Structure 1
Amino acid sequence: MVDYENSSQLHKWMFSSPHELQRCRTHANRQAREYITAQTETSNNTPTPSYFAAEWKNHSLDDNNLPNEHEHFLTADEETTLVHFYAHKLPNLIGPHALRIRRESKITATAALFLRRFFLSNSVLLYDPKVVMVAAAFLASKVEDATVDIRQLEEGTEAMNAPVPTSDIITTEVALLEGLHFDLRCFHPYKAVVALTEDLRTFLKTKVGQALFVRNNNNNSMISGQDLIPIYERARTLVDHAVLSDIPLLYAPGQVGLAALMLAQQQQTELQMDLLGYLKVRFPEQNVAVLEPILQHLCDMLSQLEQQPEDDLSTLKAIHKKLKKVRVWGSKNNKGESKKKRKRDE
């Protein structure tokens, strides 16, 4: 089995900054605009899925001649808003608390990562993000050995009042595989949270371990592994939010899991843990000082995720309305009418 150090996730799908993600999305948006502009009334070409983001280290993405935001096409930021919206709908479709299809959290996390990877190289102008979301859930269930009957997914979308037929799921899954460059192995922070918590339980049995943990309620009783349960559960919740965001494209699963534990500990009041001290003792060969600012920044990002306001429905409606006029997927009749309307507007 491939470990994280040798995985495509690390070597092909890990980015050094949000700016690099934005450059990929802008490039995908530009390519989609050029594709649509080149189409004629009689064109019936099917767009070919792109995977340039998987090879971003070997690509030079041109930042010149960026498309104007006042055009009738969606901007890269508007596309990102839609992808974010559908990524956060995945837990309702598949996951521990889904409306119909109950699966482990890692299935949701893999589906979300597939969705976000795909739309780094491809545009919602060319591919329906709702259908890609469902195809990502279907593919993730197979990759994680928890296969879902495709008819259940169709029923799940109906329960969400966003029906997607099985034929569309199957067709889009093929495009999704190409857009992922067939890189399907995913690593998530859940294992890191479990492994670190179990190691902390063992560490607590030592004198050094006890010295790094302090109760805040003047209770002098010995700290045990039972005291870690609330921190563990809180960290899991933080990871649930993280896996739906861009964070897995920017940070290693171990870093995210450790930051989730740090923030979970900071947010509770009964127990103080010196997690950095724990790292220095347990992993003396690692330079914890280098890791500290990364973890602090991650803690800030995780905290901000929970404080984000709910999606602005008026903004989403405006984006969907704009998208309907220029997308290449959907009803052909609608597309023809949209082109005629654009000509009248011009």
Structure 2
Amino acid sequence: MAVADTPNELPAAPLPLPKQSLYESSTQYKNWRFSPEQLAQSRRELNHAAVESLKKLLEQEEPGSTSSVHFLTAEEEHALVVYYARVIGSMCVRIGLSEEVEATATSYLKRFYLKNTVMDWHPMNVTITILFLATKTSNMPISLDYYVSKLPSGKTEAADVLALEFLVAQSLAFEFSVWHAHRALWGVVLDVQSIPEIDQESTKHTHSAALQHIRNSRLTDAELIYTPSQIAMACLYLADPHLAETYLSSKGSGNMLSVVQEAARMIERDGKGTDVGLVREIDLRLKTCKNPERVKGSKAYEARQAKVDAAADKKRALKATASVESRMSQDEMFGPSISLPGDTA
């Protein structure tokens, strides 16, 4: 029976993958964005684990001592971190550092305390390390000596700045690149100039006002929840709602307005920072519930230091043994070194 010829059919071409923006391929988008519920849960779990660990350490240090200790809550820890986010801004003004460095350092501080607790690492110590690191990762380095000379306490040494640098880098998963809302805002302002129905004279004032809202947003969780462009639009909306709505409409992004308004409400609500009186109270209580392993002179500190020293000694011994074995192996292969006439013993 004859089989009808069928034309050779080429396999259908695969559907093209949706184009991914540069931001969507960044580590920030993949690893440092959360929902408000995820952030709250993560902070609660971190705080609970820290308190349980500290109770054991404090009981070993002084049995029965934890009954009178009022450990910090997750909310109190966060309030202290927010206060030091504002301190970063003051330090940048004092030292003469750029908006880019300030924004980067603030992002690092928030990310660090998603992995660590203030009861282990006080934000004051972490902040001086983070800010210096941000000058390097933002490609705006300054000398360590100059940086130390500009720190307000007058008691900080160069070694103090560098002491926590590896811990900070490790906590950031060595992901130093940060996409900032102030850059996205500048892009929007430039784009606005191409829209004829917008009054160009008013945009300069609007940009300045929106930039202040951007700075306030650094005291909130906005960058851990929203994209830089969403934050930029939220700040533009706070500065000039009509301009923001007109711009979104011109771009066919009117459906984005609800997200922009949601972000704007967060920035307006939380962008004022932490009350200084509350910070003093939290910091005073922190002195009673600090990790004793970080307090010089405590039993826990000495025990931990002994372990660190023992591990270092073991590492040096293993290295020395490996070096000897390597030399012995070379002697077996090539024979011992030959002394030439005239060589001194």
Give the shorter-chain TM-score range: 0.7 to 0.9
Letter in 2 for 1:185: S
Pairing 1:289-308 to 2, within 5 Å after superposition: 289=255, 291-305=256-270, 308=272
Paired residues of 1:41 and 1:336 also in contact (CA < 8 A): no
- Count the aligned residue pairs: 276
Determine the structure 2 residue equivalent to 1:4: 23
* Alignment partner of 1:85 out of 60, 83, 86: 83
Quote the sequence identity (%). Answer: 24
**Bigger-Rg structure (1/2):** 2
Determine the structure 2 residue equivalent to 1:320: 283
In 1, Cα distance between equivalents of 2:273 and 2:295: 33
Letter in 1 for 2:54: I
| Residue aligned with 2:287, SS | helix
Aligned: 1:16 with 2:8: no
In 2, Cα distance between equivalents of 1:38 and 1:70: 14
In 2, Cα distance between equivalents of 1:88 and 1:134: 13
Determine the structure 2 residue equivalent to 1:229: 204
- Which residues of structure 1 form unaligned runs of 5+? 44-67, 205-209, 214-222, 267-271, 338-346
Paired residues of 1:93 and 1:153 also in contact (CA < 8 A): no
Is the alpha carbon distance of 1:181 and 1:163 closer, same or farther for their aligned partners in structure 2, counting shifts above 3 Å? same
| Residue aligned with 1:295, SS | helix
In 2, Cα distance between equivalents of 1:309 and 1:35: 29
TM-score by length of 1: 0.72
In 2, Cα distance between equivalents of 1:260 and 1:93: 24
* Alignment partner of 2:46 out of 11, 28, 46: 28
In 1, Cα distance between equivalents of 2:58 and 2:283: 23
Deviates more, 1:68-77 or 1:321-330: 68-77
* Alignment partner of 2:158 out of 144, 155, 166: 166
How much does 1:252 deviate? Answer: 0.4
In 1, Cα distance between equivalents of 2:247 and 2:121: 47
Determine the structure 1 residue equivalent to 2:169: 177
Paired residues of 1:105 and 1:240 also in contact (CA < 8 A): no
Letter in 1 for 2:203: L
How much does 1:40 deviate? Answer: 7.3
Is the alpha carbon distance of 1:69 and 1:232 closer, same or farther for their aligned partners in structure 2, counting shifts above 3 Å? farther
Q: Can you list the C-alpha shifts for 1:87-143, whole angstroms capped at 9, x where unaligned? A: 11001112xxx11x2122121111011001111111011112111111111111111
How much does 1:297 deviate? Answer: 1.3
- Which residues of structure 2 form unaligned runs of 5+? 1-20, 301-345
Paired residues of 2:120 and 2:294 also in contact (CA < 8 A): no
In 1, Cα distance between equivalents of 2:167 and 2:235: 34
Pairing 1:106-125 to 2, within 5 Å after superposition: 106-125=100-119
Deviates more, 1:178-187 or 1:25-34: 25-34
